[in-house]
């Protein structure tokens, strides 16, 4: 049974790290050891059409412990941090009601920050304004759209690159809808957060090991049928701007399927894109996660069963006494 502390805060374990860092295996081991439930915090694993290419848990893994929020949305939908947070909080509440430990696992930093710190209440943007912002971006292109945003909202433009398509459009549409910079909304006081306490484990293996794991895993995905998965996805005729179409490997394998490049070239480019993504995740984890004070995470440089004793002792202390988590 999970234990609340003297304020009534209930425990949640977070396992995060770069792609291919071993975090899913660690989360599963924790769920098995503590009678827990694995809750997905990966922005691509929520979509049902890509199980291989997003490295969703396999059938044997699913049989070892309950898993939630995997493949729960159609690829034609958009999952925002706010939408995911609402889904995750419902699952966490269900876990605690059943006396189970929620083990949230994923590398989407925005999701994890939203879970722990809440989200600012940015008003809903009308669909017509969202469509207009996207159309303007399509017409101008990334560089000119970025410059146009800079003329109206220099604070947000300074935070974003011309290649940050989704974030640029979001900044523009919020400005259009509210007359206020997204930066101002983000700086406003966040809403109340639920009575939860968190213990975070960060998987950060050495860079060379992580890159090798990324390369090997993509080859395994190809062997498991990733090409057929992308072929089926493309057959749906989805809007190219949808998040699922930005999943690692989709663009590269799609070009191969269209005859634009060899499979070898597609694999090499997808592996490079994956390594680049892993590098950005590592940078985020080192710079955006608090490594001091009560919320300092436990660093797992190279997850293996030999570390179970130290990790399990830390989590057992956190669950039973509340020590080790955030205050």
Please tell me the distance from the alpha carbon of residue 256 to that of residue 205, in angstroms, as a whole number: 32
Going by C-beta distance under 8 Å and a sequence separation of 6 or more, which residues neighbour residue 206?
301, 302
Domain 10-119+190-321 carries which CATH code? 3.40.50.300
| Predicted local confidence at residue 327, as pLDDT | 38
Radius of gyration of the chain (CA): 20
What pLDDT is attached to residue 325? 47
Q: How many CB atoms lie within 10 A of CB 193?
A: 14
| β pairing state of 196-203 and 298-300 | parallel
Give the dihedral of Cα atoms 133, 134, 135, 138; nearest 10 deg: 130
Structural domain boundaries in the chain: 10-119+190-321, 127-187
Residue with tokens 């992580």: 210
Residue 269 to residues 7, 18, 264: CA-CA distances in angstroms? 51, 19, 9
Q: How far apart are CA 112 and CA 115, in angstroms?
A: 5
As a whole number of angstroms, the distance between CA 252 and CA 250 comes to: 6
Q: What is the CATH number of domain 127-187?
A: 1.10.20.140
C-beta of residue 157 within 8 angstroms of C-beta of residue 146 = yes
Residue 27 has what pLDDT?
97
E-only strand ranges, the chain? 10-17, 36-40, 67-68, 101-105, 196-203, 298-300
pLDDT computed for residue 123 by the predictor: 74
Count of residues for the chain? 327
Are the C-beta atoms of residues 19 and 281 closer than 8 Å to each other?
A: yes
Q: From the first residue on, what is the mean pLDDT of each consecutive set of 10 residues in the chain (327 residues)?
A: 63 96 95 96 97 97 98 95 94 96 95 87 82 93 95 94 89 92 80 84 94 98 98 96 95 98 98 96 86 80 75 92 56
**Contact criterion met (CB below 8 Å) for 98 and 33:** no
Two structure tokens written together for 190: 């966040």
Report pTM.
0.82
Angle (nearest 5°) at CA 87 between 121 and 190: 25
């Amino acid at each position: 049974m999970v234990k609340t502390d003297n304020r009534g805060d209930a425990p949640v374990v977070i396992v995060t790290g770069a792609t291919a860092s071993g975090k899913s295996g660690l989360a599963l081991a924790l769920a098995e050891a503590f009678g827990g439930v694995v809750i997905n915090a990966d922005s691509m694993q929520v979509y049902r059409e890509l199980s291989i290419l997003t490295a969703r848990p396999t059938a044997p893994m699913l049989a070892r412990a309950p898993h939630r929020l995997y493949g729960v949305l159609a690829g034609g939908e958009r999952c925002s941090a706010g939408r995911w947070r609402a889904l995750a909080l419902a699952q966490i509440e269900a876990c605690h009601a059943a006396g189970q430990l929620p083990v949230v696992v994923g590398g989407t930093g925005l999701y994890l920050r939203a879970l722990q710190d809440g989200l600012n209440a940015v008003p809903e943007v009308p669909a017509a304004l969202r469509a207009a912002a996207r159309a303007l971006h399509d017409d101008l292109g990334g560089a000119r759209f970025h410059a146009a945003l800079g003329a109206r909202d220099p604070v947000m433009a300074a935070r974003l690159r011309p290649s940050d398509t989704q974030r640029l459009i979001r900044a523009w549409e919020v400005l259009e809808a509210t007359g206020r910079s997204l930066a101002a909304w983000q700086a406003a006081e966040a809403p109340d957060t639920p009575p939860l306490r968190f213990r975070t484990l960060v998987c950060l293996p050495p860079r060379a090991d992580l890159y090798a794991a990324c390369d090997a895993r993509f080859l395994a995905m190809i062997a498991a049928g990733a090409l057929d998965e992308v072929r089926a996805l493309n057959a749906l005729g989805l809007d190219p701007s949808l998040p699922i179409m930005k999943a690692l490997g989709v663009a590269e394998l799609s070009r191969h399927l269209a005859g634009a490049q060899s499979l070898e070239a597609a694999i090499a480019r997808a592996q490079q894109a994956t390594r680049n993504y892993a590098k950005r995740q590592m940078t985020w984890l080192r710079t955006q996660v608090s490594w001091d004070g009560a919320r300092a995470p436990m660093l797992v440089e190279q997850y293996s069963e030999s570390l179970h004793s130290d990790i399990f002792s830390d989590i057992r202390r956190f669950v039973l006494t509340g020590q080790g988590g955030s205050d």
